Amino acid sequence: MYRLTVKRRFSAAHHLRDYEGKCAQLHGHNYNVEITVQGDKLDDAGMLMDFGKLKQICDQVLDRYDHVYLNELPEFAQANATSENLAATIFERIAKLLSDFDVRLFEVKLYETEDSATIYRES
Protein backbone atom coordinates (compact mmCIF):
# COMPACT_ATOMS: atom_id res chain seq x y z
CA MET A 1 0.00 0.00 0.00
CA TYR A 2 1.30 3.41 -1.00
CA ARG A 3 0.12 6.80 0.24
CA LEU A 4 0.84 10.15 -1.31
CA THR A 5 0.11 13.52 0.34
CA VAL A 6 0.02 17.07 -0.98
CA LYS A 7 -0.43 20.26 1.01
CA ARG A 8 -2.52 23.18 -0.21
CA ARG A 9 -3.79 26.48 1.26
CA PHE A 10 -6.76 28.79 0.97
CA SER A 11 -8.33 31.67 2.91
CA ALA A 12 -12.02 32.06 3.67
CA ALA A 13 -14.47 33.74 6.02
CA HIS A 14 -17.43 32.28 7.90
CA HIS A 15 -19.48 32.46 11.05
CA LEU A 16 -21.18 29.73 13.03
CA ARG A 17 -24.94 29.76 13.43
CA ASP A 18 -26.57 28.51 16.65
CA TYR A 19 -23.27 28.82 18.48
CA GLU A 20 -22.39 30.87 21.53
CA GLY A 21 -18.86 32.19 21.42
CA LYS A 22 -16.48 34.25 19.34
CA CYS A 23 -16.98 32.10 16.25
CA ALA A 24 -20.60 33.25 16.02
CA GLN A 25 -19.15 36.50 14.66
CA LEU A 26 -17.86 36.88 11.12
CA HIS A 27 -14.18 35.90 11.02
CA GLY A 28 -11.66 34.31 8.69
CA HIS A 29 -9.05 31.58 8.56
CA ASN A 30 -5.98 30.79 6.54
CA TYR A 31 -6.70 27.11 6.04
CA ASN A 32 -4.01 24.52 5.39
CA VAL A 33 -5.09 21.22 3.85
CA GLU A 34 -3.32 17.89 3.55
CA ILE A 35 -4.86 15.57 0.96
CA THR A 36 -3.77 11.94 0.97
CA VAL A 37 -4.48 9.30 -1.67
CA GLN A 38 -3.63 5.62 -1.48
CA GLY A 39 -3.28 2.71 -3.83
CA ASP A 40 -1.56 -0.62 -4.40
CA LYS A 41 -0.08 -0.23 -7.87
CA LEU A 42 2.58 2.06 -9.27
CA ASP A 43 2.48 3.13 -12.88
CA ASP A 44 5.20 2.39 -15.44
CA ALA A 45 7.17 5.42 -14.22
CA GLY A 46 7.13 4.07 -10.66
CA MET A 47 4.56 6.56 -9.32
CA LEU A 48 1.29 6.05 -7.50
CA MET A 49 0.11 9.34 -9.01
CA ASP A 50 1.86 12.39 -10.34
CA PHE A 51 2.12 15.02 -7.58
CA GLY A 52 1.39 17.76 -10.10
CA LYS A 53 -1.84 16.13 -11.25
CA LEU A 54 -3.00 15.63 -7.67
CA LYS A 55 -2.25 19.28 -6.86
CA GLN A 56 -4.18 20.36 -9.94
CA ILE A 57 -7.24 18.33 -8.89
CA CYS A 58 -7.06 19.66 -5.33
CA ASP A 59 -6.72 23.25 -6.54
CA GLN A 60 -9.73 22.79 -8.80
CA VAL A 61 -11.81 21.98 -5.70
CA LEU A 62 -10.20 24.40 -3.26
CA ASP A 63 -10.48 27.40 -5.60
CA ARG A 64 -14.21 27.31 -4.88
CA TYR A 65 -13.50 28.15 -1.22
CA ASP A 66 -10.62 30.60 -1.59
CA HIS A 67 -11.42 34.19 -0.54
CA VAL A 68 -15.15 33.61 -0.18
CA TYR A 69 -17.71 33.88 2.58
CA LEU A 70 -18.42 30.18 3.12
CA ASN A 71 -21.89 30.75 4.59
CA GLU A 72 -23.08 32.04 1.20
CA LEU A 73 -22.25 28.78 -0.61
CA PRO A 74 -25.14 26.36 -1.26
CA GLU A 75 -23.39 23.50 0.60
CA PHE A 76 -23.42 25.59 3.78
CA ALA A 77 -26.91 27.07 3.50
CA GLN A 78 -28.20 24.59 6.08
CA ALA A 79 -25.04 23.13 7.64
CA ASN A 80 -22.51 25.25 9.50
CA ALA A 81 -19.23 25.84 7.70
CA THR A 82 -17.31 24.10 10.47
CA SER A 83 -13.93 22.51 9.86
CA GLU A 84 -15.63 19.12 10.08
CA ASN A 85 -18.26 19.92 7.44
CA LEU A 86 -15.75 21.68 5.21
CA ALA A 87 -13.31 18.74 5.34
CA ALA A 88 -16.10 16.28 4.44
CA THR A 89 -17.26 18.47 1.54
CA ILE A 90 -13.71 18.83 0.21
CA PHE A 91 -13.24 15.07 0.51
CA GLU A 92 -16.41 14.31 -1.47
CA ARG A 93 -15.51 16.74 -4.26
CA ILE A 94 -11.92 15.55 -4.63
CA ALA A 95 -12.96 11.88 -4.49
CA LYS A 96 -15.26 12.43 -7.49
CA LEU A 97 -12.43 13.94 -9.53
CA LEU A 98 -10.14 11.00 -8.69
CA SER A 99 -12.54 8.40 -10.09
CA ASP A 100 -10.56 8.16 -13.35
CA PHE A 101 -7.32 7.36 -11.52
CA ASP A 102 -6.08 4.13 -9.96
CA VAL A 103 -6.02 5.66 -6.47
CA ARG A 104 -8.52 6.17 -3.66
CA LEU A 105 -8.79 9.28 -1.53
CA PHE A 106 -7.63 8.26 1.95
CA GLU A 107 -8.15 11.43 3.97
CA VAL A 108 -8.44 15.18 4.09
CA LYS A 109 -6.79 16.90 7.04
CA LEU A 110 -7.93 20.50 7.38
CA TYR A 111 -6.10 22.95 9.65
CA GLU A 112 -8.30 25.84 10.70
CA THR A 113 -5.39 27.29 12.64
CA GLU A 114 -1.79 26.28 13.11
CA ASP A 115 -2.81 24.34 16.23
CA SER A 116 -6.26 22.99 15.33
CA ALA A 117 -7.17 20.46 12.66
CA THR A 118 -9.86 17.98 11.73
CA ILE A 119 -9.49 14.80 9.70
CA TYR A 120 -12.17 13.33 7.46
CA ARG A 121 -11.97 9.77 6.11
CA GLU A 122 -14.64 7.51 4.73
CA SER A 123 -14.83 4.14 6.44
80 contacts 23 by C-beta, under 8 angstroms = no
User: Number of C-alpha atoms within 13 angstroms, CB side, residue 93?
Assistant: 16
Query: Catalytic residue numbers?
Result: 23, 67, 112
Are β-strands 104-113 and 116-120 bridged in parallel, bridged antiparallel, or unpaired? Answer: antiparallel
User: Number of C-alpha atoms within 13 angstroms, CB side, residue 45?
Assistant: 5
